Amino acid sequence: MIAVSDNTRRRLRVQEAAEYCGLSVSYLDKRRHYGDGPVFLKIGKAVIYDTADLDQWLAGKNRTSTSDTGERNAA
- How far is 37 from 23, CA to CA, in rounded Å? 12
Q: Is residue 18 part of a domain?
A: yes
Give the pLDDT score at 71. Answer: 73
CA–CA distance, 13 with 40 (Å, rounded to integer): 10
* pLDDT reported for residue 72: 64
Q: How many domains does the chain have?
A: 1
- The answer to whether 43 touches 27, Cβ cutoff 8 Å, is no
Instruction: Tell me the pLDDT tens digit for each residue of 17-72.
Output: 999 999 999 999 999 999 999 999 999 999 999 999 999 999 999 888 988 887 76
pLDDT at 13: 97
Whether residue 53 is contained in a domain is answered as: yes
Domain range enclosing 44 = 11-59
Looking at the domain assignment, is residue 65 inside a domain? no
CA dist 44 and 22 (Å) reads 26
Q: Between 67 and 11, name the one with better pLDDT.
A: 11
Asked if pLDDT for residue 8 goes beyond 80, the answer is no
